[in-house]
Amino acid sequence: MERAFWVRSAGRGDIGPAHVQQHAPDDVLVRTIFTGVSRGTETLVFRGEVPPSQYEAMRAPFQEGDFPAPVKYGYLNVGVVEEGPGHLVGKTVFCLYPHQTRYVVPAAAVSVVPDNVPPERAILTGTVETAVNAVWDAAPMIGDRIAVIGAGMVGASVAKVLSGFPATRVQLVDADPAKAEVAAALGVDFALPGDAKDGCDLVVHATATEAGLVRALELLAEDGEVIEMSWYGDRRVNLPLGEWFHSRRLTIRASQVGKVAKARRDSRGYADRLAVALDLLADPGFDALISGEFPFDELPRVMSSLASGELPGLCHRIRYDG
């Protein structure tokens, strides 16, 4: 019998039996070897904080159940194809599937992990895909002065991708001094909020806090732009839209991974975006985003500890044995 993790009610989850349907010829049966916990979004779901107005927008591709609960939620899954089209059998694949031991999906829903990307790192594919979309939205230029505020999974990934642009000044900003080690491993400059360099052409914000967004506006040069990646759930924020916002003609623009960035929507699809993310993950620097590993049976405790703030770190990898 296969097993899956479910959020049963706000702040409570468990592992229960899962039904795996018989697959059609163009489906694949995948045995999960690793999943990743997307700390920001998944803890919001675990705490029951998805606002009713966003129930449909927040659905994961293979989610079961409905918000607020019970719901089977997740989207960072790496496994091995056991049955399906011949060219995929035995391949390691990434899929936007929840935490479950085995599952069946259409073959088109999986992406083959390149040989130069370890399966342990491939769980970051969905996060790096989000970063790719944000960079497409941001459209940085050579020589730009850029800050990324929030050194979580998404913010750190964005900073890593942006650091590859020629002649750019990229600084990763976070209130936690310990994140300097993550920045160093990624090869990116680090600063506390009060020490961050201003005069930025572009700021990417990913803290989901009012203070972080206000600081993003403060760091912009005239006609600068904030790319807002945060998901605030049902919380509201207050912003000073006079002062520097008005006089400097600043812009705040949202980036959300549910759609391919407008600048690439006519020429790229979801599979193309995933392929770019997988290519980027050949860089071992991304390993700095993985903070720890736990067996699947401990996932209910891990989710509870993440949601309460007891368990620190960025992405936690879940290991499936057998």
Closest CA to 227 of 115, 137, 105, 153: 137
- Domain map of the chain by residue range? 2-124+281-319, 128-263
Q: Rounded to an integer, what distance in angstroms lies between the CA atom of residue 64 and that of residue 72?
A: 5
Tens of pLDDT along the chain (322 residues) come to: 899 999 999 999 999 999 998 889 999 999 999 999 988 889 989 999 998 988 998 899 999 999 999 999 999 999 999 999 999 999 999 999 999 999 999 999 999 999 999 999 999 999 999 999 999 999 999 999 999 999 999 999 999 999 999 999 999 999 999 999 999 999 999 999 999 999 999 999 999 999 999 999 999 999 999 999 998 877 889 999 987 899 999 999 999 998 999 999 999 999 999 999 999 999 999 999 999 999 999 999 999 999 999 998 899 999 998 5
314: enclosing H helix or E strand: none
CATH architecture of 128-263: 3-Layer(aba) Sandwich (3.40)
* Distant-in-sequence, close-in-space partners of 63: CB < 8 Å, separation ≥ 6: 71, 72, 73, 98
Q: Do domains 2-124+281-319 and 128-263 have the same CATH topology?
A: no
Which phi and psi (to 5°) does residue 151 adopt? -100, 40
Q: First CA to last CA across the chain, in angstroms?
A: 12
Given CATH 3.90.180.10, say whether it is the number of domain 2-124+281-319.
Answer: yes
User: For residues 271, 277, 281 and 282, what is the CA-based torsion angle, rounded to 10 degrees?
Assistant: 70
